[in-house]
């Protein structure tokens, strides 16, 4: 199974606190992003070519589960080799501002629900969603520039002492071929007090339910494309 090579890791990855039960486990309890929750599902996401292929394989059942048919959820493609399958396809952003794969009648991602409920491979979920707020670029694993206020990784009640890297290690090792020396180097740098991500320094423990400051809210002009979705 092919993986994305990682040769460098930002020490911030080891400053970020872990989530006890891993990816998505506390998302529905976190009032992240615009106080409605699901902050990182705004803007849509680039879906690994391999993930898209798995969605197509299960399309018949997925179409009955998603808010809109699968074929109406995507737009441009690219051949970026740093995605599983050697390329990606972008999800559309709906008129209600969420990723086309997000539920329309409740919180959470319909695709993630479908995968978890049916015990399907996590590779069907875009890599970017499985590891947020970690991300990667040119062989480097790092913390995303923006961590949404009230993201579970910033909330005392949802985090544990082990690092986010350790709590998400299974997901990370499924997606990436990580150089073990890069892990050791980054750990040492983190212990030595390496540079710390702005959100990890400046965010006081967030108050659940607090609204996102205006400058953290997406602007209409930033919304890529909209697709009509009939609310149930
Ligand atoms: S912003 Fe954080 S808590 Fe909110 S949905 Fe994304 S990963 Fe989950
Ligand atoms: S695919 Fe799901 S988890 Fe990822 S951005 Fe879209 S709605 Fe959110």
The answer to whether the CB of 131 falls within 8 A of the CB of 3 is: no
pLDDT given at position 195 = 59
Ligand 1: residue of 17, 23, 26, 39 to mutate (most ligand atoms within 8 A of CB) is 39
Q: Whose CA is nearest to atom 5 of ligand 1?
A: 38
Reply yes or no on whether the pLDDT at 179 is more than 80: yes
For residue 16, give the nearest of 129, 167, 127 by alpha carbon: 167
Instruction: Tell me the pLDDT tens digit for each residue of 202-230.
Output: 544 333 333 333 334 333 333 333 343 33
The whole-number pLDDT of residue 201 equals: 59
| CB-based contacts of 107, cutoff 8 Å, min separation 6 | 28, 36, 37, 38
Ligand 1 binding pocket includes 98 (Cβ within 6 Å) = no
| DSSP-assigned letter for residue 185 | H
* % the chain with pLDDT above 70: 82
Mutate to test the pocket of ligand 1, among 22, 25, 30 (most ligand atoms within 8 A of CB): 30
Using the mean position of ligand 1's atoms as its centre, give its distance from the Cα of residue 186 in Å: 24
Q: How many CB atoms lie within 10 A of CB 173?
A: 11
88 alpha carbon – ligand 2 mean position (Å): 14
Segments making up each domain of the chain, as ranges: 4-217
Q: What is the 8-class DSSP label of residue 207?
A: P
pLDDT tens-digit series, residues 67-115: 899 999 999 899 999 999 999 999 999 887 889 999 998 889 999 999 9
What global pTM score does this model have? 0.85
């Amino acid at each position: 199974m092919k993986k994305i090579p990682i040769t460098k890791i930002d020490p911030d990855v080891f400053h970020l606190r872990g989530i006890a039960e891993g990816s998505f486990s506390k998302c529905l309890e976190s009032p992240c992003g615009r106080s409605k929750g699901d902050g990182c599902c705004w803007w849509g996401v680039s879906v690994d070519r391999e993930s898209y292929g798995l969605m197509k394989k299960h399309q018949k059942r997925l179409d009955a589960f998603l808010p809109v048919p699968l074929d109406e959820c995507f737009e441009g493609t690219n051949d970026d080799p740093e995605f599983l399958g050697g390329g990606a396809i972008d999800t559309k952003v709906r008129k209600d501002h969420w990723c086309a794969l997000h539920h329309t009648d409740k919180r959470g991602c319909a695709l993630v629900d479908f995968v978890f409920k049916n015990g399907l491979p996590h590779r069907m979920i875009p890599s970017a969603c499985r590891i947020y707020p970690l991300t990667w670029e040119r062989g480097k694993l790092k913390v995303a520039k923006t961590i949404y206020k009230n993201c579970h990784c910033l909330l005392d009640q949802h985090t544990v002492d082990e690092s986010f890297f350790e709590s998400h290690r299974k997901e990370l090792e499924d997606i990436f071929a990580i150089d073990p020396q890069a892990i050791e180097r980054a750990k040492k740098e983190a212990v030595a007090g390496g540079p710390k991500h702005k959100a990890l320094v400046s965010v006081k423990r967030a108050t659940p339910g607090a609204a996102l400051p205006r400058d953290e809210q997406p602007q209409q002009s930033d919304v890529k494309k909209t697709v009509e979705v009939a609310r149930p």
